[in-house]
Amino acid sequence: MTQKIIIDTDPGHDDAMALMLACKSVEFDVLAVTTVCGNSTLENTTRNARFILDTLGRKDIPVYSGAEKPLARKLIQAVVHGASGLDGLDFTNEAVLTGDAVDQMLRLIRSNPGEITVVTLGPLTNVALAIQKDPETMSLVKEIVSMGGAIDVAGNKNRVAEFNIFVDPEAADIVMRSLVKKTLVPLDACNHVLMQVRDVARIKDDSLRNLLNKMLGPYIANLKKDAGERGALMYDPLTIFYLLQPSSCLITEQNVLIETKGEITRGMTVVDKRKVNDGMDPNATVVTDIKSQDFIDCFVETLSNKG
């Protein structure tokens, strides 16, 4: 049986690769893609999402645009994806901003109670707005799987915060305090998973291999300059991989709170690590490690599939 998913995203090179993995996997029924500001402006992320889906031959998957700014803050965009959000690609389409991502998400969840996993690849603004608007419907979500957070590692936006949480910590706080089942795929599980050009060379689909080569060059160069990395970090595709191969992932149950007030610690995902803690029950599954080669092999095999 296929898994019904909604992908909430802000493409982004790694977001685009997550879309590729999800749409090429026979295990998923992608009901919709909702877009949010984050890596770039909402106009860019919406255009980018539609471009990737069309390139994959998935014109059947609707794209609904959502929040153009965080709940309470000015948008701070990413650097590593370039001005367009997808450095290296030439776009032939324009953004179609529907502005109804939250309503469409709620409609789909209402029509498929207990069946939909919402996969979030960007700031959690759309999901938080949906919870605020209709918490009863959002309680019908099967699970929210989010790329976000940094538990025992340094942040990638400030000293302690991962980018998606940093951009809209208020939204993350709303989501983490909700009663919906949640899984976080934080930097702890992502930082060692790097895609190289030689990995992409193994993909048998010529069009996707060529597209990825255009994307990876600028992405790797930007990551080296901004973060000192020597490969393409695979943050967002790992959320899809977690759903595909949970046996390749280590998990733990934690109570995770979001820092919304601190100046130095804005967006920190705070776990109580004391021997005697506050007694708060775990509110999220946290992925602590992912087998890198398992992911790369899965990605290459899935994108090589002509079906």
What was the pLDDT predicted at 307?
61
Q: Which of 131, 198, 181, 164 is nearest to 284 (CA)?
A: 181
d(CA 150, CA 171): 16
Please name the residue that has the structure tokens 């996707």. Answer: 208
- Answer whether 252's CB lies under 8 Å from 32's CB: no
pLDDT tens digits along 190-225: 999 999 999 999 999 999 999 999 999 999 999 988
Give the model's pLDDT for residue 127.
98
Does 50 have pLDDT greater than 80? yes
The terminus-to-terminus CA distance of the chain in angstroms comes to: 17
Alpha carbon distance 236, 233 (integer Å): 9
pLDDT for position 196: 94
| pLDDT tens column, 229-251 | 889 999 999 999 999 999 999 99
Share of the chain above pLDDT 70, in %: 100
Query: What's the whole-model pTM score?
Result: 0.97
Query: What is the per-residue pLDDT for 227?
Result: 79
- pLDDT at residue 86 greater than cutoff 90: yes
State the pLDDT at residue 258.
Answer: 98
> CB of 67 within 8 A of CB of 132?
no
Of residues 31 and 307, more confidently modeled? 31
| Mean pLDDT, the chain, whole residue set | 96
pLDDT value for 228 = 84
Domain ranges of the chain: 3-304
Q: What is the pLDDT of residues 152-165, one digit of tens each?
A: 999 999 999 999 99
pLDDT score of 305? 87
Residue 176 has pLDDT above 90, yes or no: yes
CATH superfamily to which 3-304 belongs: Ribonucleoside hydrolase-like (3.90.245.10)
DSSP string of 64-120, one letter each residue: EE--SS-SSS-----STT-TTSSTT------------HHHHHHHHHHHSTTTEEEEE
For residues 86-105, give the mean pLDDT. Answer: 96
Across 4-27, average pLDDT: 98
CB neighbour class for 161 (10 Å; exposed up to 12, middle 13-18, buried from 19): buried
The reported pLDDT for the residue numbered 229 is 84
User: What's the whole-number mean pLDDT along residues 172-193?
Assistant: 98
